[in-house]
Chains A and B, each alone.
Chain A
């Protein structure tokens, strides 16, 4: 695919890529609290503010909880709003994440994915964002700094889409992406501005009988965030689910429109397939691990092994049907994930992938690999072993351990 606009190659790490994207998206309010490995985002943005390069109110809140509350309130007042966090910071926001999606505030947040304490660990894994799986946020996980840049821009369009009006989380693996310098193709400010446009508002009926944009405005008083008892609460939640369903259609639309301009695509925006058409052994993973898996897939293909990869880019909403279809040729699938659901069966993604296959005509063997917790490296040897395991499973038609651990002292 060719780019139809002029682009500039810049050396950026993932955090800088986020900051640049936010700068170009004409964000009105940024409220944030620093936490490793997200810090470069807020520092870089502060530099833009200090140099007068952005027209943004930048609130240095005293906590992540207040950062999310301020973003939500600013968004409710009509501002395009952004924040960034990670790990403990995201956990501290937990309460407000639900309130933000429940208020239908299209806040965009970058998460430099990091392990949760204890023991304290500042390195990459997905425990933080996975713990917020059910918070009503759209979740996108990126493979490299380029995708981080592109996804942050797309996130505003997705969040503010009139059929969605939900907050969006863009995940970049701590240090692996947040702090690693890459060549990133960047768009001009003008092209980004044209792509994201100005914020649109759904029209709602107020208690005074007026039809007005959904935001706090003195000319059209509106009560936002009320108490809803058992007679109404449920309908609010049902509507959030409806918006998530809509996102399954809108995310690919926004992705494709962006791809046309930039020449860059990530599957269909929901799932990225790599050598999957005839794959017999397949890995399903999220985030930067996919880069390593792709290298191994190339090697195995050269050796005649029918190996493939399915990267889940959009984890919420979960594209279950498309996932089953994409893996239709696979005989054995390994779900690799960087988080645990203690006392459950492996991580959060594994049961979801297996569940998606419950009604499928043919079901592959599906096993789970927990890897890379607290920044533990997952290398090509590890990935190769996973594919070997899958081949063994196909040969023996037997699964000994449903949940396995990679690169671990045992």
Chain B
């Protein structure tokens, strides 16, 4: 993997780089996925073709005859981000070989939400990665099918209330855990997998660029709060992106050729465990977890804390870091 120069990504450089994901789209107030897409398009190194699964960002950015995309962009269906990227990459390769396109290098970036990645899109994604196509797949994870009205997905966390995992008298929200999608991608033996959060924008951009520059498939799992679906304040989306990292609910890491390493924001928590915040702080800011803060469901918060801790310990081990002596 080529070294990324941090100097290329100063705030000034980012500000000066022309936008490829333009304003005027119809995303909701406080939509973190929109911020994520804009930042990632700032990380492109040159000519880039974008493909996007059906979902919030596709719908919000391309209502005909308008578009927010200043890069060539293709949408076909919900489950096709991986297969579309495969087709685009293969076409570019052969057309370049035959001299029918001039560009030396055209990068391919695929965007999909949690539905288009964890669930309906996982087969096409897995196939594309197995075949080794050279593309960056970006998962903007807002943890439910927000575009269709906040239905639960494989990426919805335990305990969250959605419109198909409703918190009621008999069932307290989603009873299953979030699928470890990034680990599943690492298990594909792919060259680059990373997690990112828009609060740590520089880390996010660096990782996107690494994913683009690496030869072969790369997967970037980006945490992306959705105020509508999470029943959170639109002004708190970026704050929640920070809290998720500080509570270790969503740790930031990279796996380069299968070798895990913590990214700086999470490393802070590893080196100074006292800085790790309780998950309660993260949960109480969101209406989707409101029902947990009742006497009959309180124990679920403890379960979420225990599960978060257990996963964090496992990650530390994977990163070759000694787990702290006492659990937070």
User: CB-CB contacts of B36-78 with A at 8 A, as 1s and 0s?
Assistant: 0000000000111101000000110011111101111111110
Closest to B81 in A: A69
Q: Which of B87-111 contact A (CB under 8 A)?
A: 87-88, 90-95, 97-98, 100-101, 103, 106
- Alpha-carbon distance between A331 and B69 when the two chains are bound, in angstroms: 60
- Least CB distance, B48 to chain A, in whole angstroms: 7
**B124 & A73 in contact (Cβ 8 Å cutoff):** no
Cβ contacts under 8 Å, B324 to chain A: none
Size of B's binding interface in residues, CB under 8 A: 50
Query: Which listed residue, B70, B88, B128, touches A74 by the CB 8 Å rule?
Result: B88
B298 at the interface (CB under 8 A from A): no
A71 vs chain B, min Cβ distance (A): 6
- Decide if B124 touches A224 in the complex (CB within 8 Å): no
**Given A57-B90, A60-B131, A69-B80, are A216 and B85 neighbors across the interface (CB < 8 Å)?**
no
CA distance A198 to B95 in the complex (A): 12
What separation, in Å, do the CA atoms of A229 and B48 have in the docked complex?
A: 27
Partner of B77 from A69, A221, A226, A229 at Cβ < 8 Å: A69
User: Whole-angstrom distance between the alpha carbons of A378 and B63 in the complex?
Assistant: 52
B79: Cβ under 8 A from any A Cβ: yes
Asked if A225 CB lies within 8 Å of chain B CBs, one says: yes
A217 in contact with B83 (CB, 8 Å): no
Chain B residues with CB under 8 A of A232: 64-65
Interface of B is mostly: mixed
Given known pairs A69-B77, A221-B72, the reply for A77 and B87 (CB within 8 Å) is yes
A55 to chain B minimum Cβ distance, whole angstroms, is 6
User: How distant is the Cα of A15 from the Cα of B91 in the complex, in angstroms?
Assistant: 24
Q: What is the bound-complex CA distance between A198 and B98, given in angstroms?
A: 11
Summed over the interface, the residue pairs from A and B with CB atoms below 8 Å come to a total of 168
The answer to whether B63 touches A70 (Cβ under 8 A) is no
Stretch at the interface among A95-103, A285-293, A307-315, A353-361: A95-103
Q: Does B127 contact A (CB under 8 A)?
A: yes
**Range, interface on chain A:** 35 or more
Q: In the complex, A232 Cα to B76 Cα: how many Å?
A: 17
CB-CB < 8 A to B183: which residues of A?
Answer: none
Given A66-B80, A95-B77, A99-B76, are A77 and B91 also a contact pair (CB < 8 Å)?
yes
Taking Cβ atoms with an 8 Å cutoff, the residues of B that contact A are 46-49, 51, 58-59, 62-67, 69-77, 79-80, 82-88, 90-95, 97-98, 100-101, 103, 106, 123-124, 126-128, 130-131
Q: Chain A's nearest CB lies how many Å from the CB of B24?
A: 12
Name the residue in B58, B71, B72 with the highest tally of chain A Cβ atoms < 10 Å from its Cβ.
B72
Contacts A67-B83, A73-B74 known; 10 new A-B pairs at CB < 8 A:
A31-B90, A55-B94, A56-B94, A66-B80, A76-B74, A207-B66, A216-B49, A218-B49, A223-B62, A224-B72
Nearest residue, chain A, Cβ from B46? A218
Q: Which one of A29, A70, A198 contacts B84 once the chains associate, using CB atoms below 8 Å?
A: A70
Give the CA-CA distance A274 to B274 in the complex, in Å. Answer: 88
Q: Which A residues lie within 8 Å of B101 (CB)?
A: 78, 217
Out of A56, A75, A218, which one reaches B71, CB within 8 Å?
A218
A59 to B79, CA, bound (A): 18
Check if A73 sits within 8 Å of B67, measured CB to CB: no
**Max chain A C-beta neighbours (<10 A), residue from B58, B83, B126:** B83
The residue that A70 contacts in the complex, of B69, B86, B92, B130, with Cβ under 8 A, is: B86
Question: Which of B69, B86, B124: most chain A Cβ within 10 A?
Answer: B86
Task: Say yes or no: is A79 at the interface (Cβ < 8 Å to chain B).
Answer: yes
Contact A217 B76 (CB under 8 A): no
A349 and B65 CA atoms in complex are apart in Å by: 38
A228 at interface by CB-CB < 8 Å: yes
Min CB distance, B315 to chain A, in Å?
29
Residue from A67, A73, A77 in contact with B95 in the complex, judged by beta carbons closer than 8 Å: A77
A227 at interface (Cβ–Cβ under 8 A)? yes
Task: Determine the chain B residues whose CB is within 8 A of the CB of A95 once the complex forms.
Answer: 77
Q: Are B83 and A73 within 8 A (Cβ)?
A: yes
Whether B91 lies near A218 (C-beta < 8 A) is: no
